[in-house]
Amino acid sequence: QKAEDFAKELDWNNEFKATNDWLENFKKRHNIVFRKLCGESASADASSCEEWLSEFPSFLKDYKADYVLKADETGLFFQCLPNKTAAFKGEECQCQTE
């Protein structure tokens, strides 16, 4: 969709369609591959999580209790994050060393 939006914005051929073949050829031209996330690349920054948890209560104080949803009433897809990302061919994985 984004590629088609750019094509319209740049006033390219109105018949441009970002098909799967177009995407595959684009990735080949620019040496882009999808690879599995590993180590530090796949994990959240612990200090950012701690910072968010400490700031969250001050964020909630501006809202009435009626506007705050219970977590058990809300779908939370925390395990549905992608386990792959786009990278350039030959780029090394930022694996965590222990």
| Cα distances (Å, whole numbers) of residue 7 to 14, 30, 71, 77, 98 | 8, 18, 41, 33, 46
Q: Do the beta carbons of residue 40 and residue 95 sit within 8 Å?
A: yes
3-state secondary structure of 32: strand
Burial 64-87 (b: 16+ CB within 10 A, else e): eeeeeeeeeeeeeeeeeeeeeeeb
Interval 78-97: pLDDT, tens = 556 666 777 777 777 665 55
Interval 29-56: pLDDT, tens = 888 887 776 655 455 667 877 887 888 8
pLDDT in the model for residue 52: 78
Interval 16-26: pLDDT, tens = 777 888 888 88
With 0.85 as the threshold, say if the pTM is over it: no
Q: What ranges do the domains of the chain cover?
A: 1-74
* pLDDT band (50, 70, 90) for residue 98: very low
